[in-house]
Amino acid sequence: MTDLNAVLAAADSDFDNSLERLFTLVRIPSISTDPAYNDDCDKAARAVVDDLNALGFKAQARKTPGRPMVVAHYTPKDAADDVPHLLFYGHYDVQPADPLELWKTPPFEPTLKKDADGVERIYGRGTGDDKGQFMTFVEAARAWIKTSGSLPIKATFLIEGEEESGSPSLVPFLKAHVDELSCDAAFVCDTSMWDAKTPAITTRLRGLVHEEVTITGPRIDLHSGMYGGPAMNPIRVLSKVIAALHDKTGKVTIPGFYDGVADLPKSTKKQWQSLKFSEAKFLKEVGLKEPAGERGKSVLEQIWARPTAEVNGIWGGYQGVGTKTVIPSKAHAKFTFRLVGKQNPQKVLKAFQKFVKGLVPKDCKVEFSGRGGGSPATEIPEDNPFIAKSAKALKDEFRRDAVLMGSGGSIPICRSFKDILGMDSVLVGFGLNDDAIHSPNEKYNLSSFQRGIRSWVRIMDELGK
């Protein structure tokens, strides 16, 4: 049996090379949303395939209607029948780097820099989301294979190339390869730690519904002097809809909206309270002071365990310089709803549409985008044995308990893994809240990368026992 400490030592001694391999991958501008970078996405996929094949995986870049899907399999030599088979998921594509003028270093020339606070950080697009994250899988596997000649588990790597553009090829790909990709559990490294010294496992992800509304009043824009008063202004109508979405306590007023939303278990609420999260500091960092959500719910509870209704954009009428005295013909708004528990996305969408229609006067008409859709929330049982083993491994590395936390965001792939492949996900990530993912000057702490590798070495060891 391979000594775990020997594998950890191998990971540490090879860390400079691990860093250079990450830098090589970050230098590829694999922007999936812009067709001008299709060749770069293909190049990134080939780079991952070549790296995994060199380690002894059977890796391929599979064609999709969009960007290639990297699939790689590894079966340890002399593997027993009861060795767990685990899927590791990440993505090699990145967000556009715009606006370029706000970057302090070139976005696709990764830079290691010690900042004024003494912390070493890796700057560059994709360092934190998600190249630096999924490469912790790869480098941990490298340390195991280098030391013992094999992994302690059966592994399948699924590294996609369209996550940043909505993953349009992913669900069809999963459905077409159910037998090949179904494993005992899926591990996702695209989340964050609680803080720089405290690891975390994310067990709750909110779902998402989106819709765009257009309200039409008069058939053309009207002179506000000639028609002001008798002509219904669609901006007034839309404003009424938006104002009616919430009551005085911050609750959403759409009938049936809270169907499937359960109260937070007392044990979970107690654990979150023990985190000593500063609500004041959280809001101060973005220039705010007062929580604006549901009255009586803590900020963490609002973000991790409660649904929301938000207006993401609103426009209509004249928006140029100066004044144009018109009553506009149309008014528009974009809405999103974050879901929790067992809320049904389609029911929420239909309830919202009915709610809007009930507030629109007869002299106006309402249209919906027709693209409204979404995904349900994901809640992973905290007594899942893969979570327990991962939490033990993280505690061994960081010398403190892993926080079982929620996420205000949505990672639809986890729901797809459950619904299509029948397996739960374990979300262990090493990002931090200040990583500026999707923004200029994206970064990944050097310690996040190094301790991420060490953590996966330990997690693979625990899972293989």
User: In 3D, which of 33, 28, 35 has the Cα closest to residue 163?
Assistant: 33
- Could you say which architecture CATH assigns to the domain 207-261+307-375? 2-Layer Sandwich (3.30)
Contact partners, residue 400, CB within 8 Å, separation at least 6: 197, 198, 199
Tell me how far apart the alpha carbons of residues 146 and 157 are, in angstroms, rounded to a whole number.
18
Reported pTM:
0.88
pLDDT tens-digit profile, the chain (465 residues): 679 999 999 999 999 999 999 999 999 999 999 999 999 999 999 999 999 999 999 999 999 999 999 999 999 988 888 899 999 999 999 999 999 999 999 999 999 999 999 999 999 999 999 999 999 999 999 999 999 999 999 999 999 999 999 899 999 999 999 999 999 999 999 999 999 999 999 999 999 999 999 999 999 999 999 999 999 999 999 999 999 999 999 999 999 999 999 999 898 899 999 998 999 999 998 999 999 999 999 999 999 999 999 999 999 999 999 999 999 999 999 999 999 999 999 999 999 999 999 999 999 999 999 887 788 999 998 889 999 999 999 999 999 999 999 999 888 899 999 999 999 999 999 999 999 999 999 999 999 999 999 999 999 999 999
Q: What is the pLDDT of residue 55?
A: 98
Contact 380, 387 (CB under 8 A): yes
Q: What is the pLDDT of residue 1?
A: 60
Domain coordinates of the chain in residue numbers?
4-205+378-464, 207-261+307-375
Tell me if the bond preceding 218 is cis, omega within 30° of 0.
no
Q: What is the pLDDT of residue 71?
A: 98
Tell me how far apart the alpha carbons of residues 39 and 67 are, in angstroms, rounded to a whole number.
9
Helix (H) or strand (E) holding 268: helix 266-273
Q: What is the pLDDT of residue 148?
A: 94
Structure tokens at 284: 């101060």
For residue 437, the one-letter residue type is I
What are the phi and psi torsion angles at 429 (to 5°)?
A: -130, 165
Structure tokens at 225: 């002097």
Tell me how far apart the alpha carbons of residues 272 and 281 are, in angstroms, rounded to a whole number.
16
How far is the first Cα of the chain from the last one, in angstroms, to the nearest whole number? Answer: 10
Strands 222-223 and 326-327: antiparallel
Residue 320 half-sphere exposure toward CB, CA atoms < 13 A: 5
Strands 200-205 and 378-379: antiparallel
Tell me how far apart the alpha carbons of residues 440 and 96 are, in angstroms, rounded to a whole number.
10
Contact partners, residue 31, CB within 8 Å, separation at least 6: 37, 40, 41, 93, 94, 95, 96, 97, 164
Tell me how far apart the alpha carbons of residues 450 and 19 are, in angstroms, rounded to a whole number.
9
Give Rg (Cα) of the chain. Answer: 24
For residue 46, the one-letter residue type is R
CATH of 4-205+378-464 given 3.40.630.10, 3.40.50.300, 3.40.1280.10, 3.40.430.10: 3.40.630.10
User: In 3D, which of 196, 262, 203, 251 has the Cα closest to residue 433?
Assistant: 196
